[in-house]
Amino acid sequence: MPATSSNPFGLHQNQRRSLLAATSGLLLPAWAHAQAAWPSRPLRLVVPFAPGGSSEIVARAAAAEISKTLGQNVFVDNKPGAAGNIAMQEVAASTDEHTLILGHIGTLAVNPFIFPKLPYDVNRDFTPITLLSKVPSLYVVHPDLPIRNLAEFITYARSKPGQLNYGSAGNGSAGHLAFEYLKMVTNTFMVHVPYRGTGPMLTDLMAGRLQAAAVGAPALLPFIKAGKLRCIATGTAQRLPQMPDVPTVAEQGFKGFEMTQWYGLMVPSRWAKPHIAKFEAEAVKAARSAAVKDKLAQETALAVGNTGAEFDAFIKAEQARWKPVIDRAQIKPEGMG
């Protein structure tokens, strides 16, 4: 056969097919290796909060376990600011496929409704990987208050409408939501005092400048055990084994009430689907591992480890649950009144 521009070597059709197959066979292992090589360097898990507290405990427990089987280290990078929006925007815009974020009730189910415009879309720009953990919210009061349980607290608050102050880590924080939810179901009126973080808020609560708060269990247990704070109810569906004598809100007359903070892994939706699938498999395995369960249990946190699809459905359900609470409480971000 004479050579042509489309067949410069004058090969017969069968010869061309054989050459193509041989060439493909040479290229395939390289392509497969490139796919299998992901991740090619350590992964950066961004935590949109300051160091310390439940978020870091959950993030580090998961990162350590995922690192064991993924073939690369997963390191935690705290990047607080603007109610988590700074970190969320950065990760949404990342293109390296090695940057992910710790999602949270605030960034995923609250911020979309309290900020008039976000520089990212929670449901479009991120892909849920797994719900790592639920952290029980505890309702606590200063020990000088003449109350021992939720019923007495409600009676006391109703007798002093607007005279009791409760604190939170900031507008739209999990503690803010938790207390507004309690106010809504108990029909009580108390004044919200936002702080810049849980630490300074707890300082004022224990000093008596605040009367009450709702905070994740890990940060509160030491102070409750020391008698510096009194826990009047847990936001969990069942009593906590660490505090068997403290009844839940639901047990105390408000059936179906549940308030937990929650944390899960999210990656930018632009990640390649095989990489998302690979990471999800390792993350779910890590979240369900005995090592993570034991570590979180020590901090009164509950390990979950559901699938990406289940976590996606959970996020949407939480968004639907919290929108009316946010609207009723007229929760606004810091600096917006």
pLDDT digits (tens, 9 = 90+) for 269-288: 999 999 999 999 999 999 99
The CATH number that applies at residue 284 is 3.40.190.150
Residue 283 resides in a domain: yes
Domain boundary among 252, 274, 292: 252
pLDDT, tens digit, for every residue of 122-166?
Answer: 999 999 999 999 989 999 999 999 999 999 999 999 999 999 999
On the 0-12 / 13-18 / 19+ scale of CB atoms within 10 A, 198 is: buried
User: Which structural domain range is residue 94 located in?
Assistant: 43-134+261-329
The pLDDT value given to residue 8: 52
Specify whether the CB–CB gap between 201 and 214 falls below 8 A: no
The pLDDT value given to residue 38: 96
Check: pTM over 0.85? Answer yes or no. no
pLDDT, tens digit, for every residue of 197-214?
Answer: 888 999 999 999 999 999
Q: Kindly report the backbone phi and psi dihedral angles of residue 185, in degrees, each rounded to the nearest multiple of 5, phi listed first.
A: -80, -25
Residue 30 resides in a domain: no
The pLDDT value given to residue 2: 52
144 and 195 part of one domain: yes
265 and 130 part of one domain: yes
Which among 201, 147, 151, 141 has a CA at the least distance from the CA of 176?
201
176 and 191 part of one domain: yes
Residue 177 resides in a domain: yes
Residue 5 resides in a domain: no
162 and 246 part of one domain: yes
Specify whether the CB–CB gap between 61 and 218 falls below 8 A: no
| DSSP per-residue letters across 42-96 | -EEEEESS-SSSHHHHHHHHHHHHHHHHHSS-EEEEE---GGGHHHHHHHHH--S
Domain boundary among 197, 222, 252: 252
Token pair for 4 = 């042509």
SS3 234: strand
Helix (H) or strand (E) holding 128: strand 126-141
180 or 20, which is more confident?
180
Domain boundary among 252, 272, 297: 252
On the 0-12 / 13-18 / 19+ scale of CB atoms within 10 A, 212 is: buried
Q: CB within 8 A of 146, min separation 6: which ones?
A: 152, 156
The CATH number that applies at residue 223 is 3.40.190.10
Residue 21 resides in a domain: no
Which among 222, 215, 164 has a CA at the least distance from the CA of 192?
164
154 and 241 part of one domain: yes
Whether 20 shows a pLDDT value over 70: the answer reads no
Rounded CA gap, 233 and 140, in Å?
A: 7
The pLDDT value given to residue 33: 45
Q: What is the mean pLDDT of residues 307-325?
A: 94
Rounded CA gap, 291 and 294, in Å?
A: 5
What single letter denotes the amino acid at residue 237? A
Rounded CA gap, 172 and 104, in Å?
A: 12
155 and 93 part of one domain: no
Predicted confidence band at 49 (pLDDT cuts at 50, 70, 90)? confident
How many structural domains compose the chain? 2
Weakest mean pLDDT among 1-15, 75-89, 110-124 = 1-15
Rounded CA gap, 83 and 170, in Å?
A: 8
Rounded CA gap, 293 and 187, in Å?
A: 37
